[in-house]
Amino acid sequence: MTKLFSLVCLLLSCLLPSQVLAQGDASTLVEKHYGNVTYVSGGIGDEERDEIRSRERDFNLKLLFSERDGSYLGSVDVVVLNPKGETVLEANSAGPFLLARLPSGSYVIKVSMNGQQQQKKLSISDKRRYEGVFRW
């Protein structure tokens, strides 16, 4: 019995670290930079959506992309312009959510998916997060 128990413990000790490491790598969304703007995108699967929700308080812009029936969309092109028409963020969203940290000010967000473009004007302040939903 002792040999069997030792063998089981040995096997578990070999398997457990690799499983924990794989889970840690799979659920980490990497922050990216465009100029002085930091952003993260994703939200594919429950783990990524949970991570987006836990990190959204660190960003002042949250965008969601979906079909009209509510199905999530990914691979949406996003361009954020300042009042001078200068691009402050250009990215392709890796999932249905994009979080960004923008300086306070007014912006125009242009998004496109399969040749169809939408846009919204918004104001960002230090006191609240802007949340925008785009549906196709």
In tens, the pLDDT along 25-84 reads 444 799 999 999 999 999 999 999 999 999 999 999 999 999 999 999 999 999 999 999
Mean pLDDT of 96-120: 97
Binned at pLDDT 50, 70 and 90, residue 1 comes out as low
Please tell me the predicted confidence (pLDDT) of residue 126.
Answer: 79
pLDDT at 24 over 60: no
Per DSSP (E only), the strands in 27-115 are 32-34, 37-42, 61-66, 76-81, 87-93, 97-101, 105-113
> Which fold, 28-135?
Immunoglobulin-like (2.60.40)
**pLDDT for position 115:** 93
